[in-house]
Structure 1
Amino acid sequence: MTTNGTLTPVTPAVEPPTPRPRRSSLVWALMATHFVSRAGGVARAFLVLYLTQERGLSPTTAGAVVAAVGIGDIGSQLLGGWLGDRIGRRHTMLLGFLGTAVALIALGSAETMPAICVAAVGVGLMAELFRPVGSAAVADLPAQERLRAYGSLFWAANVGFTVSTVAAGILVRHGYGVLFWINAAAAVLAALIVWRHVPETRPSTPEAPRRALLPVLRRDPLMLAMTAIHVVYFTMFLQTFSTLPLVMTADGHGPGTYGAMLALNGILIVVVQPIAVRLLDGRDTTSVLAVSMLLVGIGGGLAAVVHGGTVLAGSILVWTLGQIGVSVVFGATFAGLAPADLRSRYMGVASTAWSVGAVLGPLLGTALLDHAGRTALWAACTLTGLALYAVQRAVTPALRRRTTQLVSP
């Protein structure tokens, strides 16, 4: 709804007093689950190779199975958000991690295509349930503590991802089957951490009819706008993992060079991100988002046209800085938009932006590269970054007013 051309915020539900979880213990426990689940996520990294080499599927069929996992991912974000507000953050995490273990074992044991596809959807549906509810658990903390907490979770997940990329390459020498069992064991370990150390943080609500998500979203143009902005952003950002390796291959760079670029990205995140959290704490999140999205667009555009390794590393540095900026403030921004009684579902919608971008990014990027060439890809990335900067700045006043309303006593 608009009034004189400005966005009218949705009136948030009144949140009754509720005991606040201890930030230190909650965040450390969530960091442990993020690290363990990402470090143990070795099976998905080699899923295409497993399907083509172990199961003898064609690349096209293997791609369809990976797409089935992606479809499950999208559903997982929405289901996780709904369950988090219904049965609680803790119970949803337990369901997700234990369900992931079962689905992974089923995928590694499936013999027929229908069974493989069903198990693949199950992996996607279960593996990401913890993401929206983990974000909601941090959103349940006082607003001034959220940015550092979200930054800590992002850092732990990236350390885990770095470990998994190294470990998977070593473990695969013993066969693909061991990857599924180790991945499943990591999911069970994450569930144990949740069971022992993660308290329930869902705010208690007064006895009243539960509000449905869709009617509230339809009256919340700011949330819809921010979600759309991030779908476009993630579609652009994921060119670095879909079209960049193709561009590098065309320039004569082998897989080792691309792996080194990914390692540089991971090292920069591990080193720079804790510093970024301290520097960005207390700053205007909308300005951080706008500048960061612009950096990703410029960095992605440079990566599409440069040829030398040194200049390519410079482009990686630029988009990694933008990636860090967005990731640090992403959760806190959407947590500030969420009504208390719909907090988990709002975070689920926000997380869906990543999943949708993960589907659109490879499809649009490879099509553009194939039909128009790398120069068009460079121009598209740069122009998208500029457009996102302008749009994000345009919604800044409404976002500031909304955040002020939600944090005011």
Structure 2
Amino acid sequence: MPARPAGAPWGLPGPFWWLWGGTLVTSAGGFVVPFMAIYLTTVRGYSVFFTGLTLTVFGVGSGIASLFGGILADRVGRRAVLLASEVLTVTGMLGLGLTQGRAPVLLFTLTVGVGLNATRPARAAAVADLVAPADLPRAYALIYWATNLGFSAAAVTAGLAASHGFLLLFLVNALANLLAGVVVYLRVPETRPPPGPRRAADAAAPAGAAGAVPRSPAFLVLLGTVLLLGLLFQQPLVVLPLAMTADGLSPADYGTAMMMNGLVIAVLQLPLTRLAGRLRPEYALASATLVTGLGMGLTALVHGVAGYGASVVLWSLGEIVVWPTCMALVAALSPPDRQGGYQGWFLSTWSLSVALAPVLSGRVVESSGTAPVWGACLCLAVVCAGGQLLLARLRGDRRAEPVPGREEAATVP
């Protein structure tokens, strides 16, 4: 088991902090994707249909990369995948800024989608290799915090860069990913453990099948709850702007309400993570899920920017705990030589919910308006919390039990 290094910041090893810094840099430079629709329609003059197709291609690349990036991280190493992903992202960003034509745009958009998202399971697996199990929720919370801080900075930087031409956006984004790649190359060693003892629940999978579907009942229950959580957390992006517009509010009002999400995460991520760490992870996750459902359910009852902003604050408190706790549970349920693959399944399941949410909620809004969506969110949260409590029963008393083989497999430089 990785030991807490003496004198390391917050008891976390040095390589973790380099991973954290790389996450902050790439997130702060990652403002191209939110501006893609504007770039393609206004600068390139493409149709709305082609713009939608391009963003779909990005989503397809993201989903594929989330799964296969994790599988490759188990087979060829975390560091190799992190480096290759940054190279792909830099190539895609430069290609989008410099080339002309629909086919190159689609190709380089796919490249960016793969590059940006293949890093996620590899990074999550490297964190699990480096950090003691008891510290994983805090470590993943710090990664999530860096992602949100970086993205908040990106929103400001993007406006300044775009005023000097969209090419500058692509160049700065490519430079950020290049810098992150240099950090990984110079400061982050390979952490992939050798193959170790396999769980009985995974015994049916062929030996060495890093991408095989996990057979652990506990992990499958976790994936089911992740699918529901993904459906929940897409509604503020899909239905909330429709609800606020129907309530007579402007897009700027929606932006003001959603700004509360970033503010809550920036200010309360660390103290709330510390508080949640006093609970068993499944209980912390179930509590956060119920808070999320309550916040979204109350959206049907509020009016005005202040009311919607208050509901955003409430479900944001749940979001703070949900994401890092899910990643820590994935790490706890994963064999040490399949950390990347399990994190890939987790991220792919989340991506599936991102694809399903607009279709499902769109049908409800068309037939009955936005209010039933928020009631459905509350019901989904209750069902999801029940699944998380079932997960606690399946895991028994293993609150921070070391994964078999992690003691001898962990590599701490």
TM-score by length of 2: 0.89
Question: Residue by residue, what CA displacement relative to the aligned partner does 1:366-398 show, whole Å, maximum 9, x if unpaired?
Answer: 332222211211221111111112222222211
C-alpha separation in 2, matches of 1:303 and 1:38: 29
The residue number in structure 1 matching 2:203 is none
Amino acid in the other structure paired with 2:372: A
Q: CA distance change for structure 1 residues 103 and 267 in 2, over 3 Å: closer, same or farther?
A: same
C-alpha separation in 2, matches of 1:20 and 1:211: 30
C-alpha separation in 2, matches of 1:52 and 1:363: 24
Kept in 2: contact 1:305–1:378 (CA 8 A)? no
Correspondences of 1:250-269 after superposition (within 5 Å): 250-269=246-265
Gaps of 5+ in 1: 1-16
The residue number in structure 2 matching 1:6 is none
Correspondences of 1:169-248 after superposition (within 5 Å): 169-205=159-195, 210-213=207-210, 215=212, 217=214, 219-248=215-244
Amino acid in the other structure paired with 2:153: V
RMSD (Å), alpha carbons: 2.3
Amino acid in the other structure paired with 1:121: L
Correspondences of 1:9-408 after superposition (within 5 Å): 23-140=12-129, 141-205=131-195, 210-213=207-210, 215=212, 217=214, 219-401=215-397, 406-407=402-403
By how many angstroms is 1:20 displaced? 8.8
TM-score by length of 1: 0.90
Q: Which range is displaced more, 226-235 or 315-324? A: 226-235
Q: CA distance change for structure 1 residues 173 and 147 in 2, over 3 Å: closer, same or farther?
A: same
C-alpha separation in 2, matches of 1:118 and 1:275: 43
By how many angstroms is 1:19 displaced? 9.2
Kept in 1: contact 2:74–2:210 (CA 8 A)? no
Q: CA distance change for structure 1 residues 331 and 207 in 2, over 3 Å: closer, same or farther?
A: closer
Kept in 2: contact 1:237–1:297 (CA 8 A)? no
Kept in 2: contact 1:18–1:203 (CA 8 A)? no
Kept in 2: contact 1:139–1:335 (CA 8 A)? yes
- The structure 1 segments of at least 4 consecutive aligned residues displaced by more than 6 Å after TM superposition are 17-22, 206-209
Amino acid in the other structure paired with 2:96: L
C-alpha separation in 1, matches of 2:52 and 2:364: 19
Matched residue SS, 1:46: helix
Amino acid in the other structure paired with 2:73: G
Kept in 2: contact 1:18–1:204 (CA 8 A)? no
By how many angstroms is 1:135 displaced? 0.7
Q: Which range is displaced more, 270-279 or 169-178? A: 169-178
Amino acid in the other structure paired with 1:362: P
Q: Which range is displaced more, 205-214 or 78-87? A: 205-214
Percent identity over paired residues: 33
Kept in 2: contact 1:20–1:201 (CA 8 A)? no
By how many angstroms is 1:305 displaced? 4.4
Gaps of 5+ in 2: 199-205, 408-413
C-alpha separation in 2, matches of 1:42 and 1:18: 35
C-alpha separation in 2, matches of 1:226 and 1:177: 42
Q: Which range is displaced more, 108-117 or 399-408? A: 399-408
C-alpha separation in 2, matches of 1:88 and 1:178: 33
By how many angstroms is 1:402 displaced? 5.8
